[in-house]
Structure 1
Amino acid sequence: MNTNFEQWFLYPSEQSEKTFHELIESTVRLIANAKIDKPFTGTSREDIEEMARKVTHMPASGQQMEAVMKDIHDVAKHSLWISHPSAMAHLHCPPLLPSIAAEVIIGALNQSMDSWDQSPAATYVEEEVLKYFMKQIGYPAKADGVFTSGGTQSNYMGLLLARNQACRTYFSVNAQRDGLPVEASKLRILCSEHAHFTVQQSAAQLGLGIHSVVKVKTNDQQQLCLDDARKNLEQLQKEGLIPFAIVATAGTTDFGSIDNLKEIADLVDTYQLWLHVDAAYGGALLFSHQYRHLLNHLSEADSITIDFHKLYYQTISCGAFFVKDKQSFQHIMYHADYLNPEEDHEEGIINLVEKSVQTTKRFDALKVLMTFKLLGTDMFGKMIDYTIQLARETADLLRQHNFDVLHEPRLNAVLFRLLPEYVDDPHFVNQLNLELQRYFYQSGELIMAKTKQNGKVYLKFTMLHPLNSLKNMKNHVENIKQIGKKIESEKGEKVYEYSVRY
């Protein structure tokens, strides 16, 4: 029986090489021939579900490559094309070509980066890439870091280390070994009301409960309000509770606002708190030519989150977690004889599992390395600055067309809403903007997000794409106005009656 297994693996044979080339070439053709004229086809959920049922049939015998790629083409065709400049809903970047190319190498090598013997070169490449970023941050030589799956994992790790340190400091308990003491119910985390939801999620997963997170008010620039933080800290101490960490944000999801890191660092020194900075979004400003100063005090943080799959234009997933003092990783280190025995540590062998909550880890550092080597930091910084400037010009453009713009963009996110010409009922305004978001998504021409602030529905442009233009944005603004007028005339009375009734 001729199984011909080697055809389907990377193997030094003619058959293997032939199949590999054919698959890669077919994949390149599939992407290149997609002819992306808009970010989404607008296909209904029902039709997409039907397509998915069809293409996911698993045959007993393998199909011809042409037939398989035709099915995969249907999947790609009805996907959201993030690389289109009009895809502006979420913190979901268009990936740079070097990152996409690196994915092929990462997949081919298929290394798990939990122990050095599984990833001998990759381990040291990750270490060196992290050292480079720690230098940009301004961290001392004793700092350390690790690549992660993204901001959720990184924020979790920051609060995990902070919690375990607090248990040692306040209760003389090794939480990693003995679990949480009863007194841990007194621990409290502070963050702004615009901080990422993973602060609460992490607190819940860490056994502290969502109630342990104290939300601090924000100022008129959507930054954490220092006066309110002090009031909260004083009140918590009066109640016999123990504030042990504060999460600052460098780039909030909706506003892109950056907390005043210097003032928060001073507050942290006064109250002896762990400072974690969620710079998943704004961490790219490290290479900005115009806005680098906004991160001048990032080095004050005990731990930092940076996502490369946001404003660094890397393929998902790709993030990193940094600590000012590498000894902090002692709070999560565990030795397994079959993976990272203690003698490895004594001999100076680096096993990345010792500073990660992941065991299996990808070689994502290769994507960042290839990107920076091919583009250079100068061009990368210009990309960041261009998108921020475009966001500010777009905010001005919206105001000129009588849109309600909620804030002055700090990074490249713009929150706005269309105000109807004849009806000022708040329910109607919310319904109108919800309808606009749905209309343009279904048309596939413009993908924008929706959110709520103070009970009001806002639309959001997350303008990450350096190939976007003011001309493109002028067209979108005009189209939104025209469709808004149409919705107002056709559905205004019906929506208004509904809002009054309910």
Structure 2
Amino acid sequence: MSTTAFAGWEQPLQDIVLPVKETYKDIFHQGSAAEYENAINGARELVTNFLHRNRQPFSGVSSTALRAAFAAVDFDTPLPDYESLLQEVQELYVKHATAFHLPAYIAHLNCPVVIPAVAAEVLIAAINSSQDTWDQSAGGTLMEQQLISWTAREIGFGTVADGVFTAGGSQSNLMGLLLARDHYAITNGGHNIKKQGLPGDASRYRIFISEKAHFSNHKGAALLGLGEQALVEIKTDARFRMDAELLEEAIAREIQQGNIPIAVVATAGTTDFGNLDPLADIGRIAAKYNLWYHIDAAYGCGLLLTEKYRHLLNGMETAHSVTIDYHKSFFQPISSSAFIVKDKQYLRLLRMHVDYLNPKDEDYDDLNQINKSIMQSTRRFDALKLWFTLRLMGKQKLGAYTETIIETAEKAAEVIGLDPELELLSYSDIGVILFRYAPEQYNPADLDALNQYIKKTMFNTGLVLVASTRVNGNFYLKFTMLNPLTTLDDVHFILNTIKETGAAWRQ
């Protein structure tokens, strides 16, 4: 008699496979195993073909052509079978999807993903647990909490640390600012913002960030009712890291002007430069002035995985809260992020009980994760992806990938710096390189238009995808290196493509 393959689950298959009514064959339940297998096999084949057939990161399709193809879609007329559906999705989506796993994709903070995490996605979607309360995801809750505890230990926090998985770094940064605001109000006058709204002096609250900090700080300050005027941007040094001396001067100046410093946000891995603010120095200043210290390590969190470069995060352990993006630097599928606090008591500022979800008499020994989240009740079991990854691959292998990326980026920057046709702007702590094509024969006033042409032309062919940004008003091309498969040969290919494309400008 055939049985399932897992120990402890020996019920005969013939007893658990039920006949399915044709009407309900599309619903995931006991009787739809054959339908499920058919659908999953079709999707698997689509993914396998995506891997085998893609040779460049983008098809180069124009928005006009793709919109025209979408115009024929009629949602009122269902397709007859999975074959038709998958063919449609192939033509409208997969064929033109950006292939982040290819070395010629070197644009944004999109990492290639590891296979264990992809396998976990199958379970996440099918079982469909919700991580808000214990009674909806018992084992999932404990898996998430154990991964949060592991991450907190890697940061350097103690046993009273806690946190929660989030939708992304922007949400985690918002949570950091929210706790900074509410913690200040309740510990300096007992004002409960959750119950009473903003206090009268909230317009004088000040939060200090680097001028190169992520834009989510500005959006967060606006959403929290403090406005962007609450943010004090601190100038950076030659490597685009927050200047700690200027930070302390700014804090003193705001106090002298009658304003109320409440928090400092440091960045461990800036989006535009891949550099880390001086975390330990900033932590000492935050402690001196009794300010909430939040670190946005959405990008730089990958350094936790490596002994060789872990020292770049020294000082992270002094923070009150930290943003982690596993889907940037732990090779996880989107989304997989976390917000970690040094002391779980801080999260009580977020707690709210309702009888239909997490009543006080069913708190399950603090196992309801919704008590730690903001505006996110139904929530995917994204932690399972990281569980699969760490349990099968281990921290050391992931760390080796991170080390490879950093070392390839260092060599790439050296190549760019030695090329007379290229102008390197800055070296990176992790893997972001800013430069531009700048041959001597071109007028400096034309360099912006020249490099914009290069980026647009390469995107339209789909052969190479790079990012861009502006620094001090000038337009630069940007490499964001997050792929351990990218070699120096790949870098040379990309740079040669850039130069060949640029040489054709105005011809």
Matched, 1:70 2:87: yes
| 1:342-399 alpha-carbon deviations (Å, 9 max, x no partner) | 1223x51511110001111111110001011121211111100001111111111112
| 1:74-129 alpha-carbon deviations (Å, 9 max, x no partner) | 11101211122211111111111111111110001111111111111111110111
CA RMSD of superposed structures (Å) = 1.3
1:468 counterpart (486, 490, 495):
486
User: CA, structure 1 residues 111+5, in 2 after alignment: closer, same or farther (shift >3 Å)?
Assistant: farther
Equivalent AA in structure 2 for residue 409 of structure 1:
S
2:443 counterpart (415, 424, 429):
424
Matched, 1:388 2:409: no
Q: How far, CA to CA, are the matches of 1:52 and 1:99 in structure 2? A: 31
Equivalent AA in structure 2 for residue 431 of structure 1:
A
Q: How far, CA to CA, are the matches of 1:475 and 1:87 in structure 2? A: 12
Equivalent AA in structure 2 for residue 455 of structure 1:
G
Aligned to 2:63: 45
Aligned to 1:407: 426
Matched, 1:24 2:43: no
SS in 2 for 1:337: coil
| 1:218-273 alpha-carbon deviations (Å, 9 max, x no partner) | 01121110111111111100110001000000000010111111111110111110
Equivalent AA in structure 1 for residue 167 of structure 2:
S
Matches within 5 A, 1:171-320: 171-320=189-338
Q: How far, CA to CA, are the matches of 1:61 and 1:231 in structure 2? A: 64
The alpha-carbon deviation at position 186 of structure 1 amounts to: 0.6
1:187 and 1:241 in contact (8 A); partners too: yes
1:111 counterpart (129, 138, 150):
129
Matched, 1:150 2:168: yes
Equivalent AA in structure 1 for residue 258 of structure 2:
G
Q: How far, CA to CA, are the matches of 1:80 and 1:52 in structure 2? A: 18
Percent identity over paired residues = 37
1:146 and 1:355 in contact (8 A); partners too: yes
| 1:404-438 alpha-carbon deviations (Å, 9 max, x no partner) | 11111210111110103312232x10000111110
The alpha-carbon deviation at position 295 of structure 1 amounts to: 1.1
1:348 counterpart (345, 358, 365):
365
SS in 1 for 2:475: strand
Q: How far, CA to CA, are the matches of 1:141 and 1:61 in structure 2? A: 54
Matched, 1:445 2:463: yes
SS in 2 for 1:245: strand
User: CA, structure 1 residues 349+329, in 2 after alignment: closer, same or farther (shift >3 Å)?
Assistant: closer
Aligned to 1:95: 113
Equivalent AA in structure 2 for residue 410 of structure 1:
D
TM-score, normalised relative to structure 1: 0.94
SS in 1 for 2:335: coil
Matches within 5 A, 1:472-483: 472-483=490-501
Q: How far, CA to CA, are the matches of 1:376 and 1:128 in structure 2? A: 15
1:433 and 1:458 in contact (8 A); partners too: yes
1:116 and 1:349 in contact (8 A); partners too: no
Equivalent AA in structure 2 for residue 412 of structure 1:
G
Aligned to 1:495: none
Equivalent AA in structure 2 for residue 323 of structure 1:
V
Q: How far, CA to CA, are the matches of 1:466 and 1:423 in structure 2? A: 35
User: CA, structure 1 residues 3+58, in 2 after alignment: closer, same or farther (shift >3 Å)?
Assistant: farther
1:48 and 1:78 in contact (8 A); partners too: no
Equivalent AA in structure 2 for residue 249 of structure 1:
T
| 1:152-201 alpha-carbon deviations (Å, 9 max, x no partner) | 10000011011001112334311011110121101000000010011111
The alpha-carbon deviation at position 61 of structure 1 amounts to: 4.6
2:299 and 2:325 in contact (8 A); partners too: yes
Q: How far, CA to CA, are the matches of 2:366 and 2:195 in structure 1? A: 24
2:350 and 2:372 in contact (8 A); partners too: yes
TM-score, normalised relative to structure 2: 0.93
1:127 counterpart (145, 167, 186):
145
The alpha-carbon deviation at position 280 of structure 1 amounts to: 0.3
Equivalent AA in structure 1 for residue 488 of structure 2:
L
Q: How far, CA to CA, are the matches of 1:5 and 1:322 in structure 2? A: 46
User: CA, structure 1 residues 360+370, in 2 after alignment: closer, same or farther (shift >3 Å)?
Assistant: same
Equivalent AA in structure 2 for residue 141 of structure 1:
T
Equivalent AA in structure 1 for residue 482 of structure 2:
L
Aligned to 1:498: none
Q: How far, CA to CA, are the matches of 1:45 and 1:476 in structure 2? A: 24
SS in 2 for 1:406: strand
Q: How far, CA to CA, are the matches of 2:393 and 2:58 in structure 1? A: 29
Q: How far, CA to CA, are the matches of 1:45 and 1:85 in structure 2? A: 24
Q: How far, CA to CA, are the matches of 2:359 and 2:125 in structure 1? A: 27
User: CA, structure 1 residues 349+454, in 2 after alignment: closer, same or farther (shift >3 Å)?
Assistant: closer
